[in-house]
Chains A and B, each alone.
Chain A
């Protein structure tokens, strides 16, 4: 938008302010009707609409809407590509198989769960402190808990199908009682067993080390309950091992969070917090830097510090993620590296998008100045507008008088009584006037009512917002400080992009700017 915005009943062709609707219409009919029929028609239609909608802000909205539609038409004409011609589209058809999938899976998984639970209960008993340690008694104890399959029912190993004999002996799984040969047996360290058992009681228990022992070639110690490292072991079959391990993996996953996820979660929290504050903060700055008093200055300051802190945290955390584990692990997993880089990119994109637009607050001193200036501005504006209205009314009055005079002159000649004619015209004028009044009120240009009030009354200014003020004041707000802030942000960005030449250039500029700022401040002090 151009810097100087003129408001009022402007003639679209000669840009003269005519003050009132009727004036403008009259002016247009007289001066420009021959020039552009289309514009005239549009304008006329526009007036009709405006008359219908007496409310001023609605009228303004109409204006904006109209300019928007024309803009859009232009766009359509220019660009070859505008998907927005087509109305909003709902998402396409979807069909879910989740339920049937889960039904099938649950039927299957339930079986595991039941089995696993059975094993865990047995394990619990086998590991209980009352269990006898003496091998013979222990065997009886184990048999009492789990029914061992009788030897004669199984002629060959169930998993490798070798027939049992003197060389190939039968062994029982301590958890399910099934029979297998020695080669097919698995040995579970009791510490691992205890861990599994502990999950029943305390799921947060963690365990490090090898759960199942590797088979050695020696046959000697296999019958004993003690493994190579002196830890007691338990013979189990493969099926039971798998069930226990499956459960183990799932619980492990459920209960542990890798450190990188913890950092990531923290980072996400900061981003979320920032996103919560931003929509509150932005209108505050906007309003404060125009010198409005709607928001509390201190509060905005607090918010800003909060935001900056959050951004710093995001920056730090994402950097931490990027270099995480890169040095400790030799030849780090390339996908992991890629992931970490992507996360960093995500964070910097977020910051770029939001931090760059993070306007600095005006300093407290400036804010006060702004506030004063704004108040003055408002006063001036009110005065100017009142003046304009008065002039317009004056013009209208003159116009009416002129018309009346002309009528009078005309009326004088024909047969009709001059008095009658005169009266008719006068009443017509009155009607016009009445119609106009509410209009003016609604446009808040300053109705006769506000006239009589004390013009310096602050309340007058509070009711409405002059549109052009926005542009003017925001430009005047301390550009130096703002500039420095923006440049700082930019230097950060350039550093990220490793563009040393630009960094140097900008830092130079920042210093110059700072010096200039100090100089001006000093000058200000002197003059005041």
Chain B
């Protein structure tokens, strides 16, 4: 149940299958991202893959002495482009791998184009998703929900992506879905159909306890993506946006040229791997340690006098070079994060956010929000988020003052489009759309728990919030998840407690939820959970998602638009 490894094994197998000699890897836009998430370029280079080409690049050079590994999604355009390529082959031999199920008809089209007999293999390798962490995957789709229902092209892409996750992990699961969500039900039905249609493919060795695929809808928990985050990975995504492990730092003041875009990959960056789930304070001290270590090393480089010095330095030279890259990267990122935190008083904002999400003293909160709205340092987007959170939290509170806060936003000069988002979030994730008790208001146990928590105080005011996913998974693992709210697709039910769980959130998941899943994996022996979403959200992309979901005109404009690669 490691999605990174699953995709990596596919890619390695492709390269092995191609034999020795110089190789070129021919991909499309999406498979390029898929491969880049699991393999560093230098790593793939050592396997004699020297060139990377896109199938849609016109006028590629002919190089017959290279063998070509083709890794494509089985789309119509790709099949056509590949047929063209085969009619006039630019490379020696072709080893073709599709990332998903390809129709017999398409195979025929390709076979008929291969007059020169250059094709050696045609196979399906189900790496049709972006593996972000071992337990986290994304499909990089935005705007799946339009007019509060599936956008058809994105539904079919989601089905393909999710089916490929199952195939690559060799899981034929029982499917559960969120009953309140029509979208979740449709996706569950479609996955079931795929499984029965490709029954031969889904025949895996039976495990004692069947794996579970749990399909959720973002609309059930619209709070989590609105909160500021304080663990490293989540924070970087929230404030700087991670895109396929890449971070664009071009807007950072005074950035040097080679740091304008940096890669944060836990597979290849030890510091990041060790710190991605640490909170901001811990990272501060860890980065200081890293700096000191580095300084010690660079000092020893400065005065290589004794033989021992020299020996140590020479032995460490490659690591040294690597380390200097890591250090400057992380120092820049953390520096920028703390600049943003300071400039926009994010700590105060975050504290208020957490209060809204976790406590229930209405009047005190309202005052606090008003005070923050009056603060000139707070960004408009943060003000908006506070008001949105307030609107969600006190939707049915008798004294709620949403209109007053929106008015305050107006006075601050927040644009109309943004102010409309307050209503939009209620339409998207308000009471009507929710199936579960997001704020723990109905359940007596939850209320007492909340009270107790309030009395005891919390360790860290910035990280009190636990996403709804935590409760759901907790119940699922204990076998207590209510069947009425999360029914099974089909009649078969799981009697035991589940061990292997794949959770998929329509509308996107967050890094906070990834951390939650990570903690489950770490603390619960025998339980393995993989989390996925149509995308990985931060508040910015979530607002886009919401506005697309509720506006009906946008549906034609935005349909089929996919997140930037």
Contacts and interface: CB of A to CB of B under 8 A. Distances in A.
Interface stretch (A90-98, A144-152, A288-296): A90-98
B266 A81 contact: yes
Which of A95, A489, A490 is packed against the most chain B CB atoms within 10 Å?
A: A95
Interface in A233-266: 246, 249-250, 253, 257-258, 260-261, 264
A336 B61 CA distance: 8
Contact of A98 (B6, B66, B122): B122
B310 interface: yes
A227 B202 CA distance: 65
Interface of B: 1-2, 4-6, 9-10, 13, 20-22, 42, 45-46, 48, 50-51, 60-61, 63-66, 92, 101-102, 104, 107-108, 110-112, 114-117, 119-127, 133-134, 167-170, 201-202, 204, 266, 273-278, 304, 307, 310-311, 314-315, 317-318, 518, 521-522, 528
20 contacts: A89-B2, A97-B124, A100-B107, A102-B111, A105-B112, A105-B119, A249-B116, A250-B116, A250-B117, A261-B65, A338-B50, A343-B50, A345-B42, A345-B45, A346-B50, A350-B46, A480-B307, A486-B314, A489-B314, A505-B304
Interface of A: 76, 78-81, 83, 85-86, 89-98, 100-105, 108-109, 112, 246, 249-250, 253, 257-258, 260-261, 264, 268, 333, 335-336, 338-339, 342-343, 345-346, 349-350, 352, 356, 479-480, 482-483, 486-487, 489-490, 493, 505, 509, 513
Contacts of A108: 111-112, 115
A258 B64 CA distance: 9
Nearest to B273: A81
B522 to A, nearest CB: 7
Contacts of A250: 116-117
A89 B50 contact: no
A228 B235 CA distance: 76
A34 B311 CA distance: 47
Contacts of A86: 1-2, 134, 528
A80 B304 CA distance: 36
Contacts of A350: 46
Contacts of A76: 522
Given A260-B65, A479-B307, A513-B307, A490 B317 contact: yes
Which of B117, B202, B276, B528 is packed against the most chain A CB atoms within 10 Å?
A: B117
A482 B275 CA distance: 38
Contacts of B314: 486-487, 489-490
B10 A96 contact: no
A483 B312 CA distance: 10
Contacts of A483: 307, 310-311
B9 A92 contact: yes
Contact of B276 (A81, A96, A257, A480): A81
B167 A80 contact: no
Contacts of A345: 42, 45
Contacts of B275: 80
A350 B127 CA distance: 29
Which of B2, B4, B314 is packed against the most chain A CB atoms within 10 Å?
A: B314
Contact of B50 (A81, A257, A342, A509): A342
Closest 3 CB pairs of A and B: A80-B277, A92-B168, A104-B111
Contacts of A81: 133-134, 266, 273-274, 276-277
A180 B126 CA distance: 51
Which of A79, A112, A249, A480 is packed against the most chain B CB atoms within 10 Å?
A: A79
B318 A356 contact: yes
Given A93-B201, A336-B63, A80 B46 contact: no
A480 B522 CA distance: 48
Contacts of A80: 273-278, 518
A509 B278 CA distance: 43
A264 B50 CA distance: 12
A333 B122 CA distance: 30
Contacts of A509: 304, 310
A97 B116 contact: no
A38 B127 CA distance: 48
Nearest to B61: A335
A526 B415 CA distance: 90
A486 B311 contact: yes
A408 B167 CA distance: 77
Contact of A96 (B42, B50, B123): B123
A104 B112 contact: yes
A86 to B, nearest CB: 5
Contacts of B110: 101
A77 B262 CA distance: 28
Contact of A487 (B63, B167, B310): B310
A203 to B, nearest CB: 17
A261 B6 contact: no
B231 to A, nearest CB: 9
B17 to A, nearest CB: 10
Nearest to A480: B307
Given A339-B22, A483-B310, A486-B315, A92 B50 contact: no
A320 B276 CA distance: 44
Contacts of A268: 20
Contacts of B119: 101, 105
A94 B124 contact: yes
Which of B9, B66, B122, B126 is packed against the most chain A CB atoms within 10 Å?
A: B122
Contact of A97 (B1, B92, B123): B123
A94 B164 CA distance: 11
Contacts of A96: 121-124
Contacts of B273: 79-81
B230 to A, nearest CB: 14
A101 B20 contact: no
A109 B117 contact: yes
Which of A86, A92, A97, A336 is packed against the most chain B CB atoms within 10 Å?
A: A92
Contacts of B61: 333, 335-336
B46 A346 contact: yes
Contacts of B2: 83, 86, 89
A120 B561 CA distance: 54
B307 A97 contact: no
Contacts of A349: 42, 45-46
A94 B123 contact: yes
A92 B10 CA distance: 7
Contacts of A339: 22, 50-51, 63, 66
A76 B523 CA distance: 11
B116 A342 contact: no
A299 to B, nearest CB: 27
Contacts of B521: 85
B107 A104 contact: yes
Contacts of B116: 246, 249-250
A352 B273 CA distance: 25
Contacts of A333: 61
Contacts of A343: 22, 50
B102 A261 contact: no
A483 B522 CA distance: 45
